Amino acid sequence: MTEALVLILRPLGALGFFMTLIPIMIWFERKGCAFIQDRVGPNRAFIPGLGLRLAGFVHNLADVVKLVTKEDFIPAFAHRGLYIAAPMLSMAAALLTYAVIPFADDLTLGSVTFALRAVDTDLGILFIFAFSSLAVYGVVLAGYASGSKYPLLGGIRGTAQMISYEVSLGLSVMGIVLIFGTVDLNEICRVQGQLLFGVVPKWGVFLQPVGFMLYLFAAFAETNRSPFDMVEGESEIVGFHTEYSGTKFALFFMGEYVAMAIQAAVIVTLFFGGWQIPWLPTSALIENASQVLVVLLGAIAVGALGFGVLLLRFHRWNKVRWQDERKREGIILAILLGFGPAITALLGLTIVLSTDLSGSVPNVVASVAQFLAFSVKVLFFCWVFIWVRWTLPRFRYDQVMFLGWKVMLPLGLLNLVVTAGLRLLWL
């Protein structure tokens, strides 16, 4: 019974994590780009009656309503079956990849141990590559099935780019596989908890800096993000989903963000220790569970307090603008999201200090701490994707191909050979 429950809950939890990241990332994208460009960003959409704006978060809701209620148009010359299948394929390929990403170390509850990832398999990197490459089909089929020349060109452009960068993507990870000697992502995370020269955590980025850079660039190209958004190029070149509207377009859009979130998770897992908290392996976390909990709650209290102060500042900044119920939103949100959690965390802190943790509670605490570390890292890399998009101009198509085949492929091969040589010498 418990095992069946766990079997169902694990994929659902992982799916929930990545689906939750979509609105957060869209919000990051809009608000972040606005602040980078000295603008205010979206703050208009609000729920009438409640007066909730949530600093532009409600725009996501408005988007959903708009996209779902829009006419689901299929062009006359489109290939109906493929036209409908393409966005599904795109989204499914992006969503399947999350299955092997570990969120925390294996959790032991009583006598049962289970892995905290959707599917308990040691396929790891192979699984990710197998399914993330399927995203190409979404692009090429959408271009082909639209029955229009521009999407076809966009699809071909996208396919060529994605296939080119697939090579560098694979090559840059081979170094990591050579060093850690496994493709199992959880195992890779566990090895990264060791120390290099007794000081630095043995993260992939320190062992494989070149591999990391290559992987990062290839991941940008693979997810069709700027500066490699040849596929879409919303401002100048016509992309593969020109003929799509409504929910089908939403699927492409969400597929892009899910792919981004998953690439961020893979980067974190391979190069930044995954769920590892630096200098604190799982056993240490479990042994010092109460101290960990104290630090965690303290950090939450300080963070929530800072967030509340920030919200209040935003509130004072916005106060003069709204003459309706929205003007109180800032204070209420500051209390609900900032000061309330801070006080709760402090109360929890006093309880933790006065009690001893026993049973499987330390294990849960360790898992939660690792999950939080993982989330913070993933969120940071999601932000890097957005940050780069609003910093760099788009590459020209021949530059993209030049970079892919003449710079990154040789560098990846060189990196692989050097890594293999060093590995032979020092093992």
Partner 1 sequence: MIETVDQSDARGTSSQKRKREVVYVSAPLDLRDAPETFHTSAPPRLRWWRRPLLRLLYVPAIIAGMGITIGHLLKNLILLRQPTISFPEIKPFIPKRFRSRHRLMQKDDGSVRCTACMCCATACPSGCIYIVAHEVEDPEVEKAPRVFDIDGLKCVYCGFCVEACPCDAIRMDTGVYPEAEIKRGNFVWNMDKLMHDIPDNLPE
- Cα→Cα distances 38→41, 68, 251, 309, 385, Å: 9, 32, 31, 21, 19
Among 137, 387, 397, 405, which residue interacts with partner 1 (rule: CB under 8 A)? 387
Q: Does 36 bind partner 1 (CB under 8 A)?
A: yes
**Least distance in angstroms from the C-beta of 44 to partner 1:** 9
Q: Which is nearer to partner 1, 102 or 175 (CB)?
A: 175
Q: Token pair 């780069």 is at which residue?
A: 388
Paired residues of 277 in beta bridges? 280
Q: Which is nearer to partner 1, 73 or 317 (CB)?
A: 317
Q: Token pair 């169902």 is at which residue?
A: 8
Distance CA 331, CA 136 (A): 47
Distance CA 14, CA 365 (A): 19
**Least distance in angstroms from the C-beta of 349 to partner 1:** 28
Tell me the number of residues near partner 1 by CB under 8 A. 22
Q: Does 307 bind partner 1 (CB under 8 A)?
A: no
Residue 47, token pair as written in the block: 């729920």
Among 69, 113, 194, 391, which residue interacts with partner 1 (rule: CB under 8 A)? 391
Binding mask 190-229 for partner 1 (x = CB under 8 A): -----------------------x----------------
3-state helix, strand, coil split of the chain in percent (to 5) is 70, 5, 25
Among 8, 35, 64, 65, which residue interacts with partner 1 (rule: CB under 8 A)? 35
Residue ranges of E strands in 163-290: 195-196, 200-201
Q: Token pair 């209390």 is at which residue?
A: 335
Q: Which is nearer to partner 1, 66 or 316 (CB)?
A: 316
∠ CA 64-65-66, nearest 5°, is 90
Q: Which is nearer to partner 1, 193 or 204 (CB)?
A: 204
Distance CA 114, CA 124 (A): 16
Q: Which is nearer to partner 1, 66 or 313 (CB)?
A: 313
Q: Does 39 bind partner 1 (CB under 8 A)?
A: yes
Q: What residues make contact with partner 1 under the rule CB under 8 A?
A: 32, 35-40, 213, 310, 313-314, 317, 320-323, 387-388, 390-392, 407
